[in-house]
């Protein structure tokens, strides 16, 4: 009996690889080379084909940047950006000098992530605007090419801000830093806030939170408080300690934490302690009532002074209700005066 020995199975990937046309294999090889080296792949093509400045056509078999651009179907400026990137890298010892390169000859290339440190894909890099962006990028410790790319693609920046909270946060921080020196931008943002009801409400809410925190901070740091009637007094030790405790909790909050509830609790606690301080001291309580009376009297006097008018104008808007309410007010004032006279100490 003869046993049939099955033919060994050929792995699917081997069969597939064997059947790949050379055109596809060539594309794959070029893709792999670019994936490893990035722009250096194309920079090498320029560096080994374009003759260095100062050399004539008789001295080298290489071509000019203009001729290379014509053959490539692109602008000479684009060719020169690759050329200049290679030149700078050669000065740093990262790649061979132009004179050591021959057309069609490959050399070992740097890693892809180094490319952007040398290449500027934006012609705006040499403009006043580009120079400013480059300087700012270097100050932030990032590659200028990244910042230039973002600056020339505001639609992409907008998309990133809309989709990503961390990008929006970075944009917010940048705008806040910029408006300190950019009066025009500051005014534009102020108008934007004023024209949007939701932003106006948000600003009002945050202002309230900020005012409450500042109130607690003043108590903790100065040791003085303002009573409801407006007196400025020294804060008792317990009150100041409580303000310091709440302030320490507020200061420990991270930038993204919601401070509203914490600020409300701190403000409410301090205000309650101030009121209790006033009520616990008879002299302070009397002074508080006196201050409040004078404050109300001053406000009432100012309001009434604004109601005065010439007799000649009265007939134009006269109504019986006006006289009635003024007579009621006159009665209340008379009662108040009588009460104060009775309370006055006899000589």
Residue 225: how many CA atoms within 13 Å on its side-chain side?
26
Residue 341 to residues 251, 299, 311, Cα–Cα distance (Å): 52, 22, 33
Return the SS3 of 118: coil
Secondary structure of 287-341 in HEC code, one letter for each residue: HHHHHHHHHHHHHHHHHHHHCCCCHHHHHHHCCHHHHHHHHHHHHHHHHHHHHHH
Please tell me whether the overall predicted TM-score, pTM, comes out greater than 0.85 for this model: no
Sequence-distant (6+) residues with CB within 8 A of 246 are 216, 220, 262, 265, 266, 269, 270
Question: Which regions of the chain does DSSP assign to beta strands (E)?
Answer: 224-226, 232-234
Number of other CB atoms surrounding residue 137 within 10 Å: 18
Sequence-distant (6+) residues with CB within 8 A of 200 are 193, 194
Mean pLDDT of the chain: 82
| CB distance 180 to 174 below 8 Å | no
Diameter of the chain by CA atoms?
A: 146
SS3 percent helix, strand, coil of the chain, rounded to 5, is 70, 0, 25
Q: Tell me how far apart the alpha carbons of residues 212 and 320 are, in angstroms, rounded to a whole number.
A: 46
| pLDDT tens digit sequence for 66-113 | 889 999 998 888 888 888 889 888 988 999 999 899 999 999 999 888
Most confident of 20-29, 194-203, 247-256, 304-313: 194-203
Percent of the chain predicted with pLDDT > 70? 86
With tokens 């290339």, the residue in question is 109
Q: Tell me how far apart the alpha carbons of residues 47 and 45 are, in angstroms, rounded to a whole number.
A: 6
Q: Tell me how far apart the alpha carbons of residues 323 and 104 are, in angstroms, rounded to a whole number.
A: 106
The two tokens of residue 246 are 């709440």
Residue 10 pLDDT > 50: no
Return the SS3 of 233: strand
For residue 128, what pLDDT is reported? 63
Residue 306 to residues 272, 281, 326, Cα–Cα distance (Å): 36, 38, 14
Beta bridge partners of 232: 226
| CB distance 241 to 292 below 8 Å | no
**What are the two backbone dihedrals, phi and then psi, of residue 307, each rounded to the nearest 5 degrees?**
-90, -5
The end-to-end CA distance of the chain, in Å, is 146
| CB distance 211 to 276 below 8 Å | no
| pLDDT tens digit sequence for 125-136 | 556 667 777 777
Work out the average pLDDT over 44-53.
88
| CB distance 263 to 209 below 8 Å | yes
Q: Tell me how far apart the alpha carbons of residues 259 and 211 are, in angstroms, rounded to a whole number.
A: 12
| pLDDT tens digit sequence for 306-340 | 876 665 566 677 788 888 988 898 898 899 888 88
């Amino acid at each position: 009996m003869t046993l049939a020995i099955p033919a060994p199975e050929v792995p699917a990937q081997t069969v597939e690889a064997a059947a790949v046309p050379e055109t596809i294999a060539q594309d794959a090889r070029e893709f792999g080379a670019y994936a490893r080296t990035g722009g250096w792949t194309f920079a090498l093509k320029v560096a080994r084909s374009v003759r260095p400045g100062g050399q004539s056509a008789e001295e080298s078999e290489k071509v000019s940047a203009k001729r290379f651009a014509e053959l490539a179907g692109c602008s000479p400026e684009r060719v020169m950006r690759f050329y200049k990137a290679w030149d700078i890298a050669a000065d740093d010892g990262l790649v061979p000098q132009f004179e050591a390169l021959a057309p069609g000859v490959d050399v070992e290339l740097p890693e892809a992530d180094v490319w952007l440190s040398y290449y500027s894909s934006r012609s705006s890099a040499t403009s006043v605007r580009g120079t400013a962006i480059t300087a700012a990028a270097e100050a932030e410790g990032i590659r200028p090419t990244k910042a230039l790319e973002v600056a020339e693609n505001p639609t992409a920046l907008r998309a990133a801000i809309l989709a990503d909270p961390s990008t929006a946060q970075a944009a917010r921080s940048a705008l806040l830093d910029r408006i300190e020196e950019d009066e025009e931008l500051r005014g534009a943002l102020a108008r934007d806030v004023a024209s949007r009801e939701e932003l106006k409400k948000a600003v009002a809410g945050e202002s309230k939170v900020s005012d409450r925190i500042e109130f607690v901070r003043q108590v903790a740091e100065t040791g003085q408080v303002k009573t409801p009637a407006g007196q400025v007094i020294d804060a008792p030790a317990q009150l100041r300690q409580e303000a310091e405790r709440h302030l320490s909790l507020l200061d420990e909050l991270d930038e993204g934490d919601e401070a509203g509830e914490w600020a409300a609790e701190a403000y409410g606690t301090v205000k309650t302690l101030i009121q209790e301080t006033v009520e616990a001291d008879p002299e302070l309580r009397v002074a508080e009532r006196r201050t409040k009376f004078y404050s109300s009297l001053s406000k009432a006097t100012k309001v009434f002074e604004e109601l005065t008018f010439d007799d000649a104008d009265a007939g134009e808007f006269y109504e019986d209700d006006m006289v009635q309410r003024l007579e009621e007010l006159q009665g209340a004032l008379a009662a108040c005066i009588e009460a104060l006279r009775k309370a006055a100490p006899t000589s």
